[in-house]
């Protein structure tokens, strides 16, 4: 794609302290590994993606429209995490990272969408108990009240995701994820994340609910509609979300989204001054 500038706007300028509201950054904040998932469907027409609007009180990206996701939990790296699909070793090669980080990134992707939407990319474990899925198309059978309690306890860090899977005889399905992008929060930001983006089809029989304290709105949207609303100034998007939506807008089906062959390289925008005002400049692959 080449070099591209993303103009900040008044709110982003204020959050970055460009209006003098916070001290100048001297040492960049450390990054934390994170995962974000674009849940997609096409059963009600052209491709839709599930999005959340973060509450205005959030320290990171307040009031922004985002995809479900969040930072890794150290327990996401547990070796006993039941796993089916491409192995941790394969994901580490795809990411270009170590196996512990790869395990955390994939596990965080599945855990975060479960916490924030209730969708669980998992299947019942095989009767042999060998860590494989009993059936690729079988939905995880969790009572809604049980699932709600598990989500709350995960958010509160009272339990680990591996414990949830083991106790309910489920296996994480890494084959349901497709790797899409790698963005690193600019050094000018007070909170920074090293984030992998994924796309996944909502499994049959499941429906995201967006019941998370981090968002005040959740909805299925057509990518082009969101891009139009952004252009009109009706909602706010961060550069990674904007680019991912533009890519999704190029296809009209779930199979098209899962099959897109996109160049992936680490992208870390940098703060620059432009004729249109302060902007984040990114070198896109």
Per-residue pLDDT for the chain (285 aa), expressed as one digit of tens each?
689 999 887 656 555 555 555 455 568 889 999 999 999 999 877 999 999 998 877 667 778 899 999 999 988 877 778 999 999 999 999 999 999 999 999 999 999 999 999 999 999 987 444 455 555 566 677 889 999 999 999 999 999 999 999 999 999 999 999 999 999 999 988 889 999 999 999 999 899 998 888 888 999 999 999 999 999 989 989 999 999 999 999 999 999 999 999 999 999 999 888 888 888 899 999
Which residues span the domain enclosing 185? 2-284
The number of domains in the chain is 1
Domain of residue 134, CATH code: 3.90.79.10
Give DSSP secondary structure letters for the chain: -EEEEEE--HHHHHHTTTTTTSPPPSSPPPEEEEEEEEEEE-TTSS-EEEEEEE-TT-SSSTT-EE-SEEE--GGGG-TT--EESS-HHHHHHHHTS-HHHHHHHHHHHHHHHHHHH----EEEBPTT-SS-BS-TTPPP---HHHHHHHHHHHHTTSS-HHHHHHHTTEEEEGGG-EEEEEEE--TTSSSEEEEEEEEEEPPTT-------TTEEEEEEE-HHHHHHHHHTTSS---HHHHHHHHHHTT-SSHHHHHH------EE--EEEEETTEEEEEEEE-
């Amino acid at each position: 794609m080449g070099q591209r500038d993303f103009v900040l706007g008044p709110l982003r300028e204020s959050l970055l302290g460009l209006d003098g509201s916070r001290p100048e950054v001297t040492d960049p904040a450390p990054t934390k590994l994170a995962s974000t998932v674009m849940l997609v469907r096409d059963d009600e027409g052209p491709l839709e993606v599930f999005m959340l609007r973060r509450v205005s009180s959030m320290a990171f990206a307040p009031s922004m429209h985002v995809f479900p996701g969040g930072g890794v939990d150290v327990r996401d790296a547990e070796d006993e995490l039941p796993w089916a699909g491409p192995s941790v070793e394969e994901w580490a090669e795809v990411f270009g990272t170590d196996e512990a980080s790869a395990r955390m990134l994939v596990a965080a992707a599945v855990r975060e969408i479960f916490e924030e939407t209730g969708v669980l990319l998992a299947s019942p474990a095989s009767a042999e108990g060998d860590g494989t899925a009993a059936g690729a198309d079988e939905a995880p059978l969790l009572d809604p009240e049980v699932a709600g309690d598990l989500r709350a306890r995960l958010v509160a860090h009272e339990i680990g995701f591996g414990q949830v899977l083991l106790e309910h005889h489920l296996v994480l399905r890494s084959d349901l994820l497709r790797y899409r992008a790698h963005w690193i929060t600019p050094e000018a930001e007070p909170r920074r994340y090293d984030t992998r983006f994924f796309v996944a089809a909502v499994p049959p029989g499941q429906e995201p609910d967006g019941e998370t304290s981090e968002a005040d709105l959740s909805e299925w949207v057509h990518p082009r509609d969101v891009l139009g609303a952004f252009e009109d100034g009706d909602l706010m998007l961060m550069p990674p979300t904007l680019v991912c939506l533009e890519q999704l807008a190029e296809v009209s089906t779930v199979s098209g989204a899962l099959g897109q062959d996109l160049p992936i390289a680490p992208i870390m925008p940098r703060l620059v001054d432009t004729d249109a005002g302060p902007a984040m400049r990114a070198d896109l692959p």
